[in-house]
Amino acid sequence: MNDSSFVPSDNLLSGISGPDHVKALTPEQLPALAQEIRDEIIAVTSATGGHVGPNLGVVELSIALHRIFETPTDQFVFDVSHQGYIHKLLTGRNGETFRKLRQTGGASGFLYRSESKHDAFGAGHAGTALSAALGMATARDLKGTDEHVVAVCGDAAFTCGVTMEALNNVVASTKRLIVILNDNQWSIAKNVGAMAKYLNRLSTNPTYNKVHHDLEKFFKGLPGGEDMNRVYMKWKRETKDFFVESSLFEKFGLRYLGPIDGHDIEELEKNLEFAKQCDTPILIHVITKKGKGLQAAIERPEKFHGASPYDAETGESRKSDAPIATNYQDVFGHALTRFATQDSNIVGITGAMPSGTGLCHLAEALPEQFFDVGIAEEHAVLFAAGLATKGIRPVVGIYSTFLQRAYDQIIHDVCLQNLPVTFCMDRAGLSANDGPTHHGLFDLSYLRCVPNAVVMQPKDEDELVDMLHSCINHAGPAFIRYPRGAGVGVTIKDEPAVIPFGQAEVLREGTQIQIWALGPMVDLALKLAEQIGNEEGISVGVVNARFAKPLDKTLLLKQTKFSPLIVTMEDHVITGGFGSAVIETLQESNTLISVERIGWPDKFVEHGSSIDILREAYDLSPDAIRARILKRWSQTEKPVIAEA
């Protein structure tokens, strides 16, 4: 141990300020440390929300990793990195930083290279660990250093195309890479597909387990049997093929160890130690229990994958007193179910997010019209394209940020062939507690430039249903974006209306300033227009733009005849977003009037306690926007004839 300041105390966790302290503990102290870590995770996440189940499942694994390896010299690459809480607690981030998990100024819910030297690689999207770790291991080989690189992947990471691409390249790239397959059988929902079935067979192989168990018993029963058993265990690790057909991983050239009890620290340490000495890439298959230590999380793994604040005793969500409008995701899920009931050609597709997207409602009502393809966004989009060629009407429910992964499929497969696929992009805008990996701030920019794409955002949940209805009946690709969480609270009509594509809606007449707003910005625009009218005597109109593409050019150009200032408001980066579309349209028509674009700057926005706090920090609070509009108005040249 390098650090002599460690004084073991009754409370082990509070004395740990780095991995050296973890190594200094005796094996007998480790169960107590594991318990303290679980208590801390439950205490903190019950207040802040967070990834409860994934972390409770890897407490022992994380302790063992930090006892066997030396970070930051050795490097861990956690897939998604949502299970990195224990790693944070053991690398100097316990105490105040962890207590403010996912809050402004506190630890992020994911790993960031900028947060700690122990975070070798950042992530928030799934499936990146193996590929990144392979790159790091190969760089090590090129540079001639000898640190260990360990990729920690969940079982669902192996449903990602990019993980399989990396697996295909491991032996061609390095001789030394350690892969931990943390198998808890769950993605967010139950893991799906042939790979999940295969892993299940591998971990419960009755032949292997029975022979192994009988032999272990046999050796232990002999005089000196403990020693013989140890030799047997070593031999077993090295000759597993004797008992069972070689695993898929061995066919890819990796050595396979397992399955191992992921809650047995001694067993984990032994196997990690073995892996360290190994001169071939190696995969250790570790079986863990998602949510271990919290009964509610074990019983409801999906809810506790990523939970909002909850009561630690009962597991129930902490209710806010404010009346809660229906979530956009549920409105979408119920509306799609209604449409799909009337037309069996309508199907819903998710990439491992049935409840997050609201498609769980379709899954429950019409399972044959629902597809969960795993964490495979590229496939989800291509699969939809294929379905669409044969008259099926696929609706892909997906988070804005995860759709980024399927960009080539959007361009090359859906839009180029002008196929009628509807994309419902949830979490468009900020995902405050999650931070930059999860903010949906780029979709307008990356979609607007694609020919045939129609891109829209509803002002409320009723308009979402109208848009969904309109898109399903549209002959080409269409994208609807909407934010995380509750809608405005409006009633949803019995029969949806068709919204003509490219038609905006004037919500407030005005003659001097026109605010063109998208989605949740519409409500704020109406309030600001009222306020500016009352307090400043300026006549402000408000348009619910509805479409970023095609833009309502006719209305826009008509308004520029009498209003010298257009303000655009979007929950999106301003670079290439909705405001840019307005400027481009004006420029193409040679109508260069003033435009004030309100949106997120060209920066990665960090995590924060709430959207309001983040908006405040980026000068996007209602007061700051009002001030910007007035300042711009004061600088705007007013035409002599300003009245329509």
Ligand X SMILES: Cc1ncc(C[n+]2csc(CCOP(=O)(O)OP(=O)(O)O)c2C)c(N)n1
In three-state secondary structure terms, 53 is helix
Residues 413-472 that bind ligand X (CB under 6 A): none
* SS3 category, 537: coil
Shortest CA distance to 602 belongs to which of 445, 407, 448? 445
Q: Distance from CA of residue 292 to its chain's centroid? A: 22
Q: State the catalytic residue, choosing from 36, 40, 60, 377.
A: 377
Of residues 132 and 521, the one with the C-beta less far from ligand X:
132
Tell the smallest beta-carbon distance from residue 426 to ligand X (Å): 12
- Nearest distance from residue 534's CB to ligand X, in Å? 45
- What residue is closest to ligand X based on CB? 154
Answer for the pair 480, 467: CB distance below 8 angstroms, yes or no: yes
CB of 159 to ligand X, least distance (A): 8
- State the minimum distance, in angstroms, from the CB of residue 599 to ligand X: 24
Q: Which of residues 174-193 bind ligand X (CB under 6 A)?
A: 182, 184, 186-188
Nearest distance, CB of residue 427 and ligand X, angstroms: 10
Stretch of 79-87, 205-213, 527-535, 551-559 contacting ligand X, by CB under 6 A:
79-87
Q: Does 80 bind ligand X (CB under 6 A)?
A: yes
Size, binding site for ligand X by CB under 6 A: 24
Nearer to ligand X, 187 or 563 (CB): 187
Closest Cα to residue 541, out of 526, 519, 521, 520? 526
- Please, is 207 exposed, middle or buried when counting C-beta atoms within 10 Å of its C-beta (0-12, 13-18, 19+)? exposed
CB of 154 to ligand X, least distance (A): 2
Site for ligand X in 8-47 (CB under 6 A): none
Distance, CA of 75 to CA of 577 (rounded, Å): 38
Of 390, 386, 394, 388, nearest in space to 370 by CA: 394
Would you say the C-alpha torsion 260, 263, 269, 275 has a positive or negative sign?
A: positive
Per the annotation, the verdict on 405 as an active-site residue is yes
Q: If binding is defined by CB under 6 A, does position 375 make contact with ligand X?
A: yes
Q: Residue 557 contacts by C-beta under 8 Å, 6 or more apart in sequence?
A: 585, 586, 589, 591
Among 82, 285, 303, 615, binds ligand X (CB under 6 A): 82
Residue 445: strand, helix, or coil: helix
C-alpha to C-alpha distance for 24 and 357, rounded to whole angstroms? 45
Is 377 noted as a catalytic residue in this protein?
yes
Q: Phi-psi region for residue 571, left (φ > 0), alpha (ψ -120 to 50) or beta?
A: beta
Choose between 352 and 522: whose C-beta lies nearer to ligand X.
352
Span of 75-83, 268-276, 313-321, 552-560 interacting with ligand X by CB under 6 A: 75-83
Please list every residue from 321 through 360 that binds ligand X, using CB under 6 A. 351-352
The residue whose two tokens read 């300026």 is: 538
**Minimum distance from residue 54 beta carbon to ligand X (Å):** 4
Reading the block at residue 41, the tokens are 């995770």
The answer to whether the beta carbons of residues 355 and 370 sit under 8 Å apart is no
Window of 77-85, 264-272, 463-471, 631-639 that interacts with ligand X by CB under 6 A:
77-85
Taking the least distance from each CB to ligand X, the nearer of 123 and 387 is 123
The footprint of ligand X on residues 272-291 (CB under 6 A) is 290
**Closer to ligand X by Cβ: residue 120 or 556:** 120
State the burial class of residue 113 (Cβ atoms within 10 Å of its Cβ: 0-12, 13-18, 19+): exposed
User: Judged by CB under 6 A, does residue 526 bind ligand X?
Assistant: no
Min dist. Cβ of residue 542 to ligand X (A): 36
Residue 130 or 335 having the CB closest to ligand X: 130
Q: DSSP readout, 127-157? A: T-HHHHHHHHHHHHHHHT----EEEEEEGGG
Alpha helices in 366-518 (DSSP H): 377-389, 400-403, 407-408, 443-448, 461-472
The alpha carbon dihedral of 249, 254, 259, 263 has a sign of negative
Please give the Cα distance from 642 to 528 (Å, whole number): 21
Choice from 36, 40, 74, 79 touching ligand X (CB under 6 A): 79
Residue 181: which residues within 8 A CB-CB, separation 6 or more? 153, 155, 158, 199, 249, 258, 283, 284, 285, 286
Nearer of residues 236 and 405 to ligand X, judged by Cβ: 405
Q: Is 487 in the site for ligand X (CB under 6 A)?
A: no
Task: Please give the residues from 304 up to 323 whose contact with ligand X meets the rule CB under 6 A.
Answer: 305
Which helix or strand (DSSP H or E) is residue 43 part of? helix 30-48
Q: Which residues within the stretch 100-159 sit at the binding site for ligand X (CB under 6 A)? A: 125-126, 154-157
We find the least distance from the C-beta atom of residue 66 to ligand X, in angstroms, to be 18
Minimum distance, C-beta of residue 305 to ligand X, in the bound complex (Å): 6
CB under 8 Å to 558, separation ≥6 — which residues?
none
Residue closer to ligand X, measured from CB, 350 or 580: 350
Tell me which stretch binds ligand X (CB under 6 A): 5-13, 78-86, 91-99, 550-558. Answer: 78-86
Among 405, 448, 481, 607, binds ligand X (CB under 6 A): 405
Token pair recorded at residue 612? 């309001």
Angle between helices 265-277 and 59-68 (to 10 degrees): 40
Nearer to ligand X, 332 or 402 (CB): 402
Catalytic pick from 405, 448, 459, 546? 405
For position 362 contacting ligand X by CB under 6 A, the verdict is no
Kindly name the residue from 236, 290, 459, 549 that is annotated as catalytic. Answer: 290
Q: Give me the long-range contacts of 626-630 (CB less than 8 A, separation at least 24).
A: 626/528, 626/531, 626/532, 628/596, 628/598, 629/513, 629/515, 629/528, 629/532, 629/567, 629/596, 630/532, 630/536
Q: Considering beta carbons, is residue 430 or 521 the nearer one to ligand X?
A: 430
Active-site annotation, residues: 290, 377, 405
Query: Interface residues with ligand X (CB under 6 A)?
Result: 54, 79-80, 82-83, 125-126, 154-157, 182, 184, 186-188, 290, 305, 351-352, 375, 377, 402, 405
